[in-house]
Structure 1
Amino acid sequence: MSHSRQRAGSATAWPATALTKNYPKGCLIPRHRHKRGQLIYAASGVMQVTTREGIWIVPPQRSLWVPAAMPHEIHMEGHVAVRTLYLDRAAGSLLGDHCRILAITDLLRELILAMVGAYGARDAQRMHMMLPLLLHELHGADESAIHIPTPSDPRLRKVCGRLLADPSRTDTLDQLAQQVGASSRTLARLFESELKMSFVRWRQHVRLARALSRLNAGASIKSVARDAGYASCSAFCVMFRQVMGITPTGYGRRMIA
């Protein structure tokens, strides 16, 4: 028996461990944390991950890096096939101390699945050989902007809560300001200072999150655009491509592939 296989039962033998699990629609994994950092990959389905840094939407072909000891909860927007790698501190330090959504290339996808398989086979040697390439590819991966930061100011929390509950709302910032007892100028300043983005861009991300869930469930682009608050499919498609780097139609094909 090889030295790597002899040590496979020891935690120190593994620079990464893995978990393969399929979850039903609506499943909620309560708030928790891990000693190791997690690379959470949605092989299929859409996840919503909430951390102190905000809400992160993880659709197929994306992964979320969650640093070690970061409290988080996960809500499954549909039936989700999750493939997770847990990286030790030496490997995880290369991916940083903040959550990041990373685009998964074909090579990264195969590496993640192969490392999950290596852990299942208790082949530590194979895992050690693949890890440097995985980290190299992740370092150069495109970062996605599917991130919904959450505020601390109580007035801004009320505004954001109403839009999260119903992304199709078309209220202007002036109208929302009146509803929470603040001026539109104050709210605009809070969006920039607390959330690091404009009101328009923040609402765009919320609508995109809802759209990804609906598309994953098989809804038509027309109905998704309408429910996201867009007056036309073309306007919705422009927004979708700007953020996702692909059209809704292309995204649908990729989910099926």
Structure 2
Amino acid sequence: MTHPDRPVSIHAVARNYPNGALIGEHCHIDGQFIHATAGVMEIRAAHRMWLIPPQRALWIPPRVPHGLRARGAVSLRTLYIAQDDASGVSDAPRGFVVPPLLRQLILQALEPCMRRDLQRQRHLNAVLMDELRALVPDALSLAVPSDPRLARACADILARPDDEHRIERLAHESGASVRTLTRLAQDELGCPLSIWRQQARILSSIPMLIAGKQVTFVAHSMGYETPGAYSAMFKRMMGVQPHLYRQSPEPNDLPRAEDDAEAVPQHPSVLPSDF
């Protein structure tokens, strides 16, 4: 429970991770607002997966296990919010668009001078919490299955998003019948496997867009026959055209971050069993 007369406790941290760096599953006593000023984060928590580019962030409530993989070199900016204050954000992991004001507040929280001026720090923390509570969830995520047969089928889709992935072949290679795989998808993914595949293709295209690849190249890499078909599906799921999604008006004078020596560089594969 948040007490209005008690200062909000927020600790800001900046770190850099190389492409492919992996932070295994772990959890924190505090809530965690994860934002990156560069690179794409693949984050898994609560049986779901998010790919978070610089314009967005992910909220992880206290004590929720999660893991992170860097898709490209990632400059991470994180707010750790004390458990008593975190209840005002969300009780489940949520993705958000990060508006310009909140981006600037996060960067301000990282300035060394804030640690020396407790009164300014308290004022800033109060404004940060107001902004966090006002955010509207807006990020596509994928359900991560637990059944090993469905997990194999989903891993195949993620590994080869440009493939047609007929359900008969997926069922055969996963060791399940078509009927069983269809039932598992509905039970664990909450939708037919064909819909999950559409979501997976759009989600998998985000790192390519952020890396500056042309929409035509991305569309063909994801198995779409035309850029128009890809753009239409992207806008339907993400609410914006792909060439606009990747725009990120970040400032150039970012606070220096520490390179994280604990992250384990690995090949950036995306398998549901990785975390």
Normalising by structure 2, we get a TM-score of: 0.80
SS in 1 for 2:131: helix
Report the alpha carbon displacement of residue 200 of structure 1 after superposing the two structures with TM.
2.7
> Higher relative contact order at CA 8 Å, sep ≥6: structure 1 or structure 2?
2
Whether the 8 Å contact between 2:46 and 2:93 is mirrored in structure 1 is no
Which sections of structure 1, spanning at least 5 residues, go unmatched?
1-11
Deviates more, 1:12-21 or 1:45-54: 12-21
Task: Give the aligned partner of residue 104 of structure 1.
Answer: 98
Q: Partners in 2 of 1:135 and 1:85 — Cα distance?
A: 10
Whether the 8 Å contact between 1:118 and 1:127 is mirrored in structure 2 is no
SS in 2 for 1:28: strand
Task: Give the aligned partner of residue 238 of structure 1.
Answer: 232
Report the alpha carbon displacement of residue 118 of structure 1 after superposing the two structures with TM.
6.6
Which of 29, 34, 38 matches 2:28?
A: 34
Task: Give the aligned partner of residue 199 of structure 1.
Answer: 193
Which of 157, 161, 174 matches 2:155?
A: 161
Closer/same/farther in 2, CA of residues 185 and 145 from structure 1, 3 Å limit: farther
Which amino acid in structure 2 is aligned with residue 114 of structure 1? Q
Q: Partners in 1 of 2:113 and 2:192 — Cα distance?
A: 43
Q: Deviations over 1:48-96 (max 9, x none)?
A: 0122422221111110111112222211101111110000012211122
Q: Deviations over 1:79-125 (max 9, x none)?
A: 11111000001221112232111111122222222223377534332
User: Which has the larger helix fraction?
Assistant: 1
Closer/same/farther in 2, CA of residues 127 and 200 from structure 1, 3 Å limit: farther
Mapping of 1:125-144 within 5 angstroms? 125-144=119-138
Mapping of 1:1-257 within 5 angstroms? 15-117=9-111, 121-254=115-248
Report the alpha carbon displacement of residue 34 of structure 1 after superposing the two structures with TM.
1.5
Aligned length: 246
Q: List structure 1 runs of 4+ shifted beyond 6 angstroms.
A: none
Which amino acid in structure 2 is aligned with residue 236 of structure 1? Y
Q: Partners in 2 of 1:14 and 1:136 — Cα distance?
A: 11
Which amino acid in structure 2 is aligned with residue 69 of structure 1? R
RMSD, aligned CA: 2.3
Deviates more, 1:217-226 or 1:246-255: 246-255
Deviates more, 1:75-84 or 1:137-146: 137-146
